[in-house]
Amino acid sequence: MSWDFGADRRIGVWAVAIVAAVVLSACQTTSTTSVGGVPTGSSVSGATTTSTGETRDRVTASDEPDSAKRARVRMELATAYFSRGQMTTALDEVKQAITADPNLGAAYNLRGLIYANLGDDRLAEESFRHALRIDARDADAMQNFGWYLCQQKRFGEADTLFRQALAVPQYRDSPRTLLTQGICQARAGEWAQAEGTLTKSYENDPGNPVTAVNLSEVLFHRGEYERARFYIRRVNSNATVSNAQTLWLAARIEKRLGNAQGVQDLGSQIKSRFPQSREAVVFEQGKFDE
C-alpha cells in the first residue's frame, strides 16, 4: 500500500487515505425516501406497527420507489468512478442521481468532494452547504466540509464543523473525524491540541496506520521523541503499510535520539526499497531537518 503526503510536509497528511475514507462514508448513504415510515435501505427484521396498532408488511427492495432506485444506482457508479479518479464521469453520475432524487444529501456531499478535487471552490462549498441544508445533522457532510475548509486554511470554521460532527448522537465514525480534526489542528500549528485529538483517535482505532503516523509526526514536532518512536515503529513493523515517508520519519526520530546505528539501518531500508524516492535523496544529503 502506498500513500502520498499532502503538500504541507511539516505534518504527515496522508490525504489519499483520508479522502478514501470520506468518500466511502459519504456514498454509502442511500435515499431517505420512506415506505410505510421506514427509510429505504434500512435493515428491517420484521413487520412494523403503526401508532394506531395497524401491522404493516415488511419493507423489501420492491417497495423502493423507482426514483430512489435510480438515484442509488447512480450514486454507486459515481462512487466507483470517483475512487478511480474519473472525476468528470463521477460528476455526471452524481448529477443524474440528483435529478432522480433532489433531496439526496449524500449526492450533494459527494458532489462537493468532486468539485473540490476539480478545483472549483465555489461549487464545492455550495454543494456541502446544500447537503447540510437537506440534513443539518449529517455528520459525514460536516466531516467532508470541514476537511475541505482545512485545505483552504479556514481552520476555525473547519474545527467548528468537526466538533459539530462529533456531537451528533450515535455518530459511528468519530475516529475518522478525530483524525481529520487532528491533522487540521497540526496544519494550523496547534500542536498540543493536535496531539490530544490524534491520541483520542488512536485510542478509538489503534489499528489505523494513518492515525499512528500522524500522531508520531506531531509528537516529533513537540520534542516527544520516545513516544514518537513507539507509534512509528508500529507502522514500520508492517512492510505492507510502511513506505519511504514512514521510514524517513523514523530515521529523523532516531537522529534526534542519538541512535546512529538506527539511522543507518533505516536509511538502508529507504535506499533499497525506495531508491528513487525524495527521502532516499535527502537521506544521502543528510538533510534531517527538512
Q: Residue 87's pLDDT is what?
A: 97
Which residues of the chain register pLDDT less than 70? 1-64
Judged on CB neighbours under 10 Å (0-12, 13-18, 19+), 62 is: exposed
Q: Quick check: is 190 in a domain?
A: no
φ and ψ at residue 35, rounded to 5 degrees: -125, 120
Q: Residue 60's pLDDT is what?
A: 65
Q: Which residue has the cell 525524495?
A: 278
Angle between helices 174-187 and 209-221 (to 10 degrees): 30
Domain count, the chain: 1
CA angle 180, 249, 278 (to 5 degrees): 100
Q: Quick check: is 99 in a domain?
A: no
Q: Residue 290's pLDDT is what?
A: 72
**Cα dist. 62→27, 42, 251 in Å?**
22, 13, 58
Which residue segment(s) compose the domain that 256 sits in?
216-289
The secondary structure element, H or E, covering residue 282 is helix 278-285
φ and ψ at residue 288, rounded to 5 degrees: -75, -10
The secondary structure element, H or E, covering residue 169 is none
For residue 128, what is its C-alpha cell? 456541502
Q: Residue 36's pLDDT is what?
A: 28
> Which residue, 86, 132, 129, 105, is CA-closest to 32?
105
The structure's pTM equals 0.79
What's the first-to-final CA gap in the chain, in angstroms?
Answer: 24
Give the start-end residues of each E strand in the chain. 34-35, 38-39, 48-49, 55-56
DSSP 8-class letter at 251: H
Q: Residue 45's pLDDT is what?
A: 37
CB of 132 closer than 8 Å to CB of 144: no
Q: Quick check: is 276 in a domain?
A: yes
Q: Residue 130's pLDDT is what?
A: 98
For residue 14, what is its C-alpha cell? 496522508
